[in-house]
Structure 1
């Protein structure tokens, strides 16, 4: 009986020790867009049910290239935070723009292809690991 309890405790400790949360770096970036980039759409972030996010999301166009700029951005920290361009306020039909680079500042994310911004009208900050929405912005 004691061996079973000890084995269980050891197994539990091993599992807990191997679970690591890789949080987004708590740094502030100041990435700058091309000075010839034209704003296509803009939105203001609102908090989601699992985090707090503030700032602006802006779609910029330089020639035939699009990028997302997060301006005066701030987010609570969490593991596996991703930036999505989404058709809905929750991530069902979305384009993954990559890992959140930092929890604050001005950040740029390239948008591949030519998405229809009348369809993809939300920018989401989402924790992929736990499926938690930290914040969203409606692009207009």
Structure 2
């Protein structure tokens, strides 16, 4: 909130000294800050290596409907799926679908009524070899 107030004050001060393009840019930055503050994350975690090097961040939105991968990276492999699981061995899991790629940012829909206290691991699961490429614990 202090950042937004500061940016508004800067916009007012610079409005006397600068053109309208710069003022519009400042107001766009303020809007972006507000949007980021309004997007609440329910849980998040960092990927750790399993059978293959895996890195990146994962987060679940406050509505518990979307799982977001950020700066994700792992090795390529046969039939890689994204699971919400109870453990790294995927004893119990919810299948979110095929891994969309081995590096980038991705989103997956979370089925309604998913118990994220029970299914607290995001697991990159290789079906052909029954191994986890990497996991992230949601906390």
TM normalised by structure 1 equals 0.69
Indicate conservation of the 8 Å contact 2:78/2:128, yes or no: yes
* RMSD across aligned positions (CA): 1.6
For 2:136 and 2:72, locate their aligned partners in 1 and report how far apart those are by CA, in whole Å.
12
* Cα shift at 1:42: 0.4
Could you report, residue by residue, the CA deviation over 1:86-129 in whole angstroms, capped at 9, with x for unpaired residues? 11122110000000001111100001112111111100001012
Equivalent in the alignment of 1:46: 48
Structure 1 segments unaligned to the other structure (5+ residues): 1-33
For 1:78 and 1:93, locate their aligned partners in 2 and report how far apart those are by CA, in whole Å.
22
For 1:37 and 1:100, locate their aligned partners in 2 and report how far apart those are by CA, in whole Å.
25
* Cα shift at 1:139: 0.6
For 2:129 and 2:90, locate their aligned partners in 1 and report how far apart those are by CA, in whole Å.
12
Higher strand share: 1
Structure with max Cα Rg: 2
Matched, 1:89 2:91: no
Aligned pairs (5 A) from 1:69-108: 69-108=68-107
* Aligned residue pairs, count: 104
Equivalent in the alignment of 1:60: 61
Could you report, residue by residue, the CA deviation over 1:21-48 in whole angstroms, capped at 9, with x for unpaired residues? xxxxxxxxxxxxx976431100100000
Equivalent in the alignment of 2:6: none
* Cα shift at 1:56: 0.5
For 2:117 and 2:131, locate their aligned partners in 1 and report how far apart those are by CA, in whole Å.
25
